[in-house]
Amino acid sequence: SINFKKGSSAVLRPIHAIPRERGRLLRALALFLLLLLLPFVPGMAAARPSFVLILADDMDAAALRWMPQTRELIAGNGLTFQRHYAQVALCAPSRASYLTGRYAQNTGVLTVDNSNGGFRQWRRNGNEQRNLAVSLHVVGYRTALVGKYQNGFPDNLAQTYIPPGWDYWAVAMQRGDTPYQQFNYKLNVNGKLVSYGTSAAAYGTDVYAGKAVEFIRQSASAKKDFFLLLSLFAPHSPSVPAPRHAKLFPDAQVPRTPSFAEADVTDKPAFLRYPKLSTAAIATLDRNYGQRLRSLQAVDEAVRKVHDALKAAGRLNDTYII
């Protein structure tokens, strides 16, 4: 069993799954969250905690080394799950499972494209009617999604469309890779389209952090329990950093784990028996990894902004940060 205290938090770290444990752990995590989300004793709804789930896109656990504020404010003061399994290690299926507690074969979101996954299959399979936001909204929580929803959103629907269950909605239009570029993107902000340009103030991660802070302040002012999903695009490729971070980590390298550029791969499945990485290929990997770390610095700062907003609003001690 896991005993959480108010004000505690967690870092979820993905590792390779043992197949027979996947279902048990996913069910346990879903049940754990459900127990937290419901009043513990009838008539004691005032004791309900609030929740902030900060989700990075395509981040590796090793990158936490370069995120000191996240380690201090979340990991240092909370609990780290050493085992966290992804049934389908892609963004759209994983997001569907996070929001529903269900396997990919049950959400119907199997890939990132609309033909077999993404927003189209998420909606087609009824997931918009049964998820955390809908359930929490029904029992009186104020809910918000800021940043990324599902790949391909809003598909062929109006760009001002807001799914059921969400009280605050500041979500990027996913037309190609535009929002991943962090500039020149468009948001649906509570039913109004807002375009962002190329100025430093328009940098995506910073804008999403600002919207999250706004929602926290509004919820605290209204004395409402809340659920906030701050869903960021970093460090997904092309891993564009904020201008202020563009020159950091000039010597960054991909973690040199025992499997990196392994010389003898004869014991591996055929699809993993690639030729040994060339010097040029390794250099490209290192450059890309540096970009990823640079793009994560704004995420690290966003964690601080959310933490400080909760503290200023007097809600830090009754909010779980995941």
Which is catalytic among the residues 91, 96, 132, 303? 91
Residue 304's identity, in one-letter code, is R
- Tell me the C-alpha distance between 86 and 32, whole Å: 17
Q: Tell me the three state secondary structure of residue 124.
A: helix
- Tell me the C-alpha distance between 120 and 113, whole Å: 8
91 is catalytic: yes
Q: Tell me the three state secondary structure of residue 123.
A: helix
Tell me if the bond preceding 235 is cis, omega within 30° of 0.
yes
Residue partners of 260: CB distance under 8 A and separation at least 6 = 254
Contact predicate 144/163, CB 8 Å: no
Residue among 19, 154, 150 nearest 91 (CA): 150
- Tell me the C-alpha distance between 152 and 149, whole Å: 9
Edge-to-edge strand list for the sheet holding 192-195: 192-195, 186-189, 168-172, 142-147, 226-235, 50-57, 319-321
Element (H, E) at 215: helix 204-221
- Tell me the C-alpha distance between 48 and 52, whole Å: 14
Active site residues: 91
